[in-house]
Amino acid sequence: MLAHYTNGNVPKVQKILRHKRVESTMKYIQLLNLEDNDFEVTSASTPEEIKQLGMAGWAKYDEMTLNGTQMHFYKKPKRFSNL
């Protein structure tokens, strides 16, 4: 999970886990190679919805205007969605 939230930044995960050797860290993480279908997706159009999704751990990946409404699109990996 830490690898996902740090975008695969192994030294950062190593520091968080307090490992002295990167080899120890690599035993526990794998660099993520997630496909599009590995994510849950949702959208928000109001500031309150945007705030709630951000607080719930959703990551913004796109935005566009649909029929005059600014839409923001969010995703998070399915395997971490229950945490």
Give the per-residue pLDDT at 47. Answer: 92
Per-block average pLDDT, block size 10, for the chain (83 residues)? 73 89 78 64 91 88 88 79 43
Q: Number of helices and strands (H, E) in the chain?
A: 4, 3
Contact 63, 70 (CB under 8 A): yes
What local confidence, expressed as pLDDT, does residue 82 receive?
Answer: 44
The model's pTM:
0.52
Which pLDDT score is estimated for 30? Answer: 62
Question: What is the maximal distance between C-alpha atoms in the chain?
Answer: 54
Report the distance separating Cα 67 and Cα 11, nearest Å: 44
pLDDT at residue number 51? 92
Q: Domain tally for the chain?
A: 2
69 lies in which domain range? 36-83
Residues 57 and 49: beta-carbon distance below 8 Å: no
* 77 plus 42 within the same structural domain: yes
Q: Give yes or no: residues 26 and 45 share one domain.
A: no
Residues 20 and 41 placed together within one structural domain of the fold: no
